[in-house]
Amino acid sequence: MKYAIFEIAGESFGIGIDRVVEILKYQDLHRIPELPDFVSGVINVRGEVVPVIDMRLRFGIAEEARRHRIILVRMEGDKVGLVVDDVTDIVEIPEDGISSPPKLFKGFRAEFMKGLCQGRSDSGTGPAGNGKVIIILDMERILTSSEKIMLSTSRKKLITHGRRRVSRRVQEGQE
Amino acid sequence: MNTKKRLSTTFIRKVLVVLLIGQSFIWYWSFSRHNITIDTDLEKRMQTASAIIGSVAAAVDTAQGHRYLERVMDGALSDENIVYIEVSRESDVVIRRSTSQDDPALRIVKTPIVKGDSEIGTVLLKYKSGKTDTAFILTNLTLQGIVFTVLTLLIYLFFQGHIGTQIAKLSTNIEKVTLGDLTQKVEISEDNEIGVIAKGLNFLIERLLITVKKLKSVAGNVSAAISQLNLTFKNVINGISHQQRSIEEISRAVKTASGAQLQTITNTEKLLSLSNDNVSALLEMRAASEEIAANISSLNRNISASYSTLAGLTRSAQEVASMADNATSAVQQASTSIEEINASVKEVEKTIKESAELSHQTTNIIAEKGMLSVVDAIEGMERIEDSVNSLSEAIKRLGRRSRDIEKILSVIKDVTEQTGMLSLNAQILAVQAGEHGKSFSVVADEMRSLSEKTAVSTHDIAIIVSTLQKEIREAMESTMETVRMVEEGNHIVLKTGDTLREILHASQKSTSMAESIERAVVQQAKGLELIVNAIEHIKGMIIDVNRTTEEQEQGTASLLESISSIKESMEAARNATDEQAESTRFITDNIELANEKTAEIARASAEQQEVNKRIIEAMEEVMVIGKETARNVKEVSLFISSLHNEVEVLRKEVELFRTSTA
């Protein structure tokens, strides 16, 4: 299976490419009062309003650092943007190359992890990552089930009541 | 789709080929069996005929019997297979043959003729093999043909009627999709394997449609980005060629400066040698002046001596009446002294003329060549100044250009980053497109490696540009130093001009002194003539001394008067000579000072030449670096245009897909 490798605070993370829709340049987020706390804002992706989750905030890492990219992923059938520092590579990682995670790895809670994978040093043949350990994320566990429900509810609210207003605000923001 | 390529047609064709091969095998086997039977029958028949002819030949040997034998043989020849019969006995040989006896495919049967217990001859019978039964073959073939045709029709009806139609429908749809029409939908609702394939195909087409739409937008973005990149690179190349031209300009300016410098050095050397000439001329002049001084003092001594002699003579004149003989000898002595004085004065005159000539020459040398050299030097220095100023201007322009390049590099960095992100997206799309995305995946990988290469090259160029900027700063510093040195050189040259003017002034003064000395000496000579005349007069008086002492006294007084005028002249000459010697010393000192200054100029020029060489070296280094930059940029440009080509190919491929029904 192929994984998109991204970096947050110098650590490498991987998510399955089947969940990835697109990689975008970082753009300013629009904050909207109707959104739940864990959503940092929304962006306009070619006319579509997409909620965005800042992975640094999600992992509880201090805010000072520049964010370069937004990974658009499919979550519960809808698109969600994840703000990361950088997307470095797309690599093939065999299932047997992923080991089960310890309870706590370098301060990241195991609940988000699907497993760890030893990245390849430059001369090796394994997945990339300069010999670093790649944390494979479990997309299903990035949000708790209650958060998923909140997200889908607020999305519906956005669509039914506030879609026009939000789109207008997003467009104004862009202009 | 071509009927020949249909799956059902191919299948039917293969079954028919197998059937045809089987039938052919069976037909061949039955035919060969049939032939073998015919051959065996024929051989038996021939042996029987041969045996009959043999027994007839053994039984008969009369003439009647012979005719009987011939009839029997003719009878045998009526068989269409037998072509030649030969009966050879001890008594005779009988041969009967049909026309085609020489056929090489003839078979031979030999039978001995036996009479009683002894063999009396042989029967030789030649025959051709029997004809194939054509009726048998035709019947066989016709039957098999009928069976084959019926089977073909049956198989065709079965496959084409049921499975073939559905597969054809499926394949027509696939064909349209392959040609790029993604708006197709397969309409088979059966519940067998073909139905499942149709559903799967519909799903795949839908997915492919989404992917291709995405691909279209991505390819458009990439293409635009690369066009921008191309434009940027053209700017970079323009900037670099500008830079190259500026550097060449600088090189030329530095070379001009160097040439002017060399001229200055040559001029300075000329000036030095002239100065040395001056110094030697002045030394000569000084020697001459000293000689003049010595001569004049000896003249003075002589005049003093003659004055005292005359004083003595005056005193003696009082007593001349009583000492006439003494007076004669005294006048003789005075005459000798005067001649001596005259010779000295002549010598003085000659030396002074020489001195005046030398002084004049010196003035000329200083006024013409010296001043001319200084003017040349000043002009050279001005040219150097101009060159150095234009050099410094060109280097400043170069600095500005390199800052422009820095700006362009930041744009390239942005574009490279964008391309890297696009390549990641392309890879994602390629993976999600599955089997259909494999070719695109290759392009995406290519794009990515190109963007990485571009990033590396951009980094290299950034390093080169910063090196270049450092070199330009160094060149600027060197130029500033040159400007300073040129100013110093200018100052020195101007100072030299001033000094030379002072020398000229002193030299002119010295010339006028020499001329006044000459005039004084001429006056002195005139005075001496007067003295000579006076002496002549004295001589005359001494002849008449005895006659009149009053007259003598008068003559002595006039003589004293003349001598005092000579003395005055001599005083003036002495003063002038002293002044001349002093002037000459002053000139010598000045010229030595000028020499020193000139040597200083030579040193400064050499130093400046060294600086120029360093500048030229730095410039050449800058040029080499510039060329390297140009080469790198061209390489990057090549990468980018190949990237552009790849993306264009991708775009064309994507354009081929029809994604909407409109």
ipTM metric? 0.77
* pLDDT-wise least confident of B42-51, B326-335, B506-515, B580-589: B326-335
- Cα separation, B37 vs B41, in Å, equals 6
Q: Roughly how many angstroms between the first and final C-alpha of chain B, as a whole number? A: 25
Cα A93 to chain centroid distance, Å, stands at 19
A with B: how many residue pairs have Cβ under 8 Å apart?
26
In angstroms, the separation between the Cα of residue B427 and the nearest Cα of chain A is 7
B193-318 vs B371-433: helix crossing angle, rounded to 10? 170
Residues of chain A found within 8 Å of residue B433, distances taken between Cβ atoms: none
Residue B104 per-residue DSSP state: T
Query: B402 vs A58, B15, B270, CA distance in Å?
Result: 45, 79, 44
Element (H, E) at A78: strand A78-84
Average pLDDT, chain A: 79
Report CB contact under 8 Å: A2, B424: no
Residue B367 has pLDDT above 80, yes or no: no
- Tens digits of residue pLDDT in B484-503: 888 888 888 888 888 878 87
Number of domains comprising chain A: 1
Report CB contact under 8 Å: B421, A2: no
Which one of B214, B418, B427 has the shortest CB-CB distance to A90?
B427
Mean pLDDT value of segment A93-116: 79
Residues of chain A found within 8 Å of residue B425, distances taken between Cβ atoms: 22-23
- Cα separation, B50 vs B122, in Å, equals 10
**Signed CA dihedral, B282, B286, B291, B292: sign only:** positive
Mean pLDDT value of segment B267-280: 72
B208-239 as b/e: b if 16+ CB within 10 A: bbebbebbbebbebbbebbeebbebbebbbeb
Which one of A18, A21, A23 has the shortest CB-CB distance to B421?
A23
- Sequence-separated (6 or more) residues with CB below 8 Å from residue B189: B195
Residue B86 has pLDDT above 50, yes or no: yes
Average pLDDT, chain B: 78
Q: Does A4 touch chain B (CB under 8 A)?
A: yes
Count the Cβ atoms, other than its own, within 10 Å of residue B410.
11
Which one of B214, B418, B428 has the shortest CB-CB distance to A90?
B428
Phi and psi based region of residue B648 (left: phi greater than 0; alpha: psi -120 to 50; beta: remaining): alpha
Q: Does A133 touch chain B (CB under 8 A)?
A: no
Q: What percent of chain A has pLDDT over 90?
A: 8
- Tens digits of residue pLDDT in B414-437: 888 888 888 888 888 888 888 888
Q: Given this model, what pLDDT does residue B99 score?
A: 63
Q: What percent of chain B has pLDDT over 70?
A: 84
Tokens read off for B585: 């010393």
- Sequence-separated (6 or more) residues with CB below 8 Å from residue B615: B254, B391, B475, B478, B479, B482
Tokens read off for B612: 């120029």
Cα B247 to chain centroid distance, Å, stands at 16
Q: Which of B134-143, B275-284, B356-365 has the highest mean pLDDT?
A: B134-143
Q: Given this model, what pLDDT does residue A122 score?
A: 47
Q: Which residue of B has its CA nearest to A70?
A: B421
Q: Given this model, what pLDDT does residue B545 score?
A: 56
Domain-wise residue ranges, chain B: 3-166, 234-655
Would strands A48-54 and A78-84 be described as parallel, antiparallel, or unpaired?
parallel
Residue A106 per-residue DSSP state: T
Amino acid at B592: E
Residue B160 per-residue DSSP state: I
Report CB contact under 8 Å: A22, B428: yes
Tokens read off for B277: 């000439």
Mean pLDDT value of segment B552-562: 65
Residue B547 has pLDDT above 70, yes or no: no
Residues of chain A found within 8 Å of residue B424, distances taken between Cβ atoms: 4, 23, 87, 89-90
The larger pLDDT score, comparing residue B165 to residue A162, is at B165
Would strands A11-16 and A104-105 be described as parallel, antiparallel, or unpaired?
unpaired
Mean pLDDT value of segment A62-81: 81
- Domain with residue A29: its CATH number is 2.40.50.180
- Cα separation, B592 vs B275, in Å, equals 8
The larger pLDDT score, comparing residue B516 to residue B531, is at B516
* pLDDT-wise least confident of A120-124, B420-424, B608-612: A120-124
Place B4 in a pLDDT band, splitting at 50, 70 and 90: low
Residues of chain A found within 8 Å of residue B431, distances taken between Cβ atoms: 2, 17, 90
In angstroms, the separation between the Cα of residue A42 and the nearest Cα of chain B is 21
Q: Given this model, what pLDDT does residue B149 score?
A: 87
Q: Given this model, what pLDDT does residue B516 score?
A: 77
Mean pLDDT value of segment B229-239: 81
* pLDDT-wise least confident of B54-63, B80-89, B199-208, B300-309: B300-309
The closest of B124, B57, B51, B49 to B90, measured between CA atoms, is: B57
Q: Does B431 touch chain A (CB under 8 A)?
A: yes
Residues of chain B found within 8 Å of residue A20, distances taken between Cβ atoms: 428
The closest of B207, B168, B165, B206 to B184, measured between CA atoms, is: B206
Per DSSP, the three-state class of A141 is helix
Residues of chain A found within 8 Å of residue B214, distances taken between Cβ atoms: 22
Residues of chain B found within 8 Å of residue A23, distances taken between Cβ atoms: 421, 424-425, 428
Residue A75 has pLDDT above 70, yes or no: yes
- Sequence-separated (6 or more) residues with CB below 8 Å from residue B373: B267, B270, B271, B274
- Tens digits of residue pLDDT in A21-43: 999 988 888 888 878 888 888 99
Tokens read off for B551: 């007259």
Report CB contact under 8 Å: B424, A18: no
Q: Does B108 touch chain A (CB under 8 A)?
A: no
Which one of B418, B425, B431 has the shortest CB-CB distance to A2?
B431
In angstroms, the separation between the Cα of residue B181 and the nearest Cα of chain A is 24
Q: Does A15 touch chain B (CB under 8 A)?
A: no
Q: Which residue of B has its CA nearest to A71?
A: B425
Q: Does B372 touch chain A (CB under 8 A)?
A: no
Residue matched to tokens 């000896």: B298
Q: Does B311 touch chain A (CB under 8 A)?
A: no
Q: Given this model, what pLDDT does residue B431 score?
A: 84
Q: Which residue of B has its CA nearest to A16?
A: B428
Q: Given this model, what pLDDT does residue A126 score?
A: 45
Report CB contact under 8 Å: A90, B432: no
Tokens read off for B222: 């990439």
- Tens digits of residue pLDDT in B123-159: 888 887 766 667 877 888 888 888 888 888 888 787 7
- Cα separation, B477 vs B488, in Å, equals 17
* Domain span at A74: 2-174
Residue A124 has pLDDT above 60, yes or no: no
Count the Cβ atoms, other than its own, within 10 Å of residue B195.
14
Mean pLDDT value of segment B199-210: 85
CATH no. of B3-166: 3.30.450
The larger pLDDT score, comparing residue A44 to residue A61, is at A44
